[in-house]
Amino acid sequence: MAADLVAVWDIALSDGVHKVEFEHGTTTGKRVIRVDGEEIYRADWMFKLVGREHFTVSKAKCTVSIDAVSGFAYEYTLEVNGKPLQKFQENQSKIMRTWVAYVTGTPTRIVLEKDTLDVWVNGKKVETTGEFVDDGTETHFEIDPTHSAYIKAESSGRRKAGIVHSLFINDAEIPEATE
């Protein structure tokens, strides 16, 4: 690890959880941004020690802000799609449902985007077929050639709770993940 590593953030998106690392050399002004271990930005000699750096992760627009707190102390914040990371994650939890299931012994991350009804399996959008059933809808898809799955959407019966989404793999219900 670099001596100048000052911040690490995890961003949960439809295509997976991405790790953002930020290095800031407070004597040289060096700034380095890494996403999932890959360096995407480097500036070695910057006279201005505060400021903003813009970059993208997947399709999300991100900004690292460097602010002086006092003397030579700095504060680093990350914005995603124009919102502080915490607020962005709260919004994501409203529009995404995420499950992690162990299929053939390995963790498989399945995400439903509730606004588009897109389904992602381990970071790849998959083909789905929808079907109306007695108590709601089922969105069918394949995890791999030997494992089929569906997400069932049904009314909770309570206005505030809205629609409940449940994942079934080979007809066994999978509990929702907390990311």
Kindly report the CATH class assigned to 91-174.
mainly beta
pTM: 0.80
89 and 97 Cβ atoms separated by less than 8 Å: no
Task: Assess whether the region 5-81 and the region 91-174 belong to the same CATH fold.
Answer: yes
Predicted pLDDT at 20: 97
- Please indicate whether residue 176 or residue 8 has the higher confidence score (pLDDT): 8
Average pLDDT over every residue of 90-111: 89
pLDDT band at residue 1 using 50, 70 and 90 as cut-offs: very low
Amino acid at 149: A
Average pLDDT over every residue of 146-153: 94
Tokens of 36: 């999932």
**Does 163 score more than 70 pLDDT?**
yes
Ranges of each domain in the chain:
5-81, 91-174
Residue 156's contacts (CB-CB under 8 Å, 6 or more residues apart) are 162, 163, 164
Kindly report the CATH class assigned to 5-81.
mainly beta
Give CA–CA dist 131/150, Å, rounded.
10
